[in-house]
Structure 1
Amino acid sequence: MTKRVIPSLFFSVALLFSVPALAQNDSIVLNNNASAAGQMTAEKFNSLLKQQGFKSVIVNRPDQELGNTVTVNELRSIAEKSHVSVIYQPVISGKISQTDVAEFAKYYNELPKPILMVCKSGSRSSSLFNQAKAQGLLHE
């Protein structure tokens, strides 16, 4: 019997929605209006807001996710001091639905820019952005 190697759907999707390397400021620049950042602490979040001048934040990491060290309420408290709005749109890694993509696109189109997206590694936030962009849902 001959074994056939079939490329996995994940690998194909990963190539389609590849994630750029982290920049020096620990955020992934997605375009002029949006960046994604991974594992967040209060200090890192405060620093990113001050250094990059983000006007909005979308938190894609569920508060209860294993290894999460800062809750959305803690991030919101920090952001409010800089007059930055925070949206909590938790999505499960590897299980982004079309509803998640459409909801993200709605926020992206309505929020003041630039937007910082936050999750565990930046990957799921980047995936949301890339899927919405590929579907023509983002007004740029």
Structure 2
Amino acid sequence: MVDMVELEEGVCATGQLSAAQMSEVADKGFRSVIGNRPDGEEPGQPEWSVLEDAARSAGLETRFIPVASAEDLAAQSGAFAQALEALPRPILAFCRSGARTARLYEAAKSG
């Protein structure tokens, strides 16, 4: 699996996941996955619906909170904060590299 960064206890960020990795995510003890990468951002990227189906098949809860711009970051920070409260932990959130997810986490925590 790709490298992960712990944002807080029970919340990690990582880069793009594949459908095949969702079982590995569950095997590592994660209970939820949040997708922060919008569909169609680059050719060959898996669609959220495919990732969500694989995650649910692996027993993971899911949320799709796409962020494509700084405006999206501000607009989606509340939804991300709510997901952090509502989803069972540990949570693995992802985007292309993990950096956007980390920025979204900081925005959600700051307010």
| Higher normalized helix content (fraction of residues) | 2
TM range (shorter): 0.7 to 0.9
* Corresponding position: 1:43 with 2:20: yes
* Bigger-Rg structure (1/2): 1
Amino acid at match of 2:85: N
Alignment of 1:48-63 (within 5 A): 48-51=25-28, 53-63=29-39
Identify the residue that residue 60 of structure 2 maps to in structure 1. 84
Percent identical across equivalent pairs? 32
Identify the residue that residue 125 of structure 1 maps to in structure 2. 101
In structure 1, what is the Cα distance between the partners aligned to 2:16 and 2:73? 22
1:93, CA displacement in angstroms? Answer: 4.1
Contact 2:2 2:15 in 1 (8 A): no
Report runs of 4+ in structure 1 exceeding 6 Å deviation.
none
In structure 2, what is the Cα distance between the partners aligned to 1:30 and 1:124? 12
* Higher RCO (CA-CA < 8 Å; seq separation 6+): 2
Please report the RMSD computed on the Cα atoms of aligned residues, expressed in angstroms: 1.9
**What is the aligned residue count?**
111
Task: Give the TM-score taking structure 1 as reference length.
Answer: 0.70
Task: Give the TM-score taking structure 2 as reference length.
Answer: 0.85
In structure 1, what is the Cα distance between the partners aligned to 2:109 and 2:63? 19
Contact 2:34 2:91 in 1 (8 A): yes
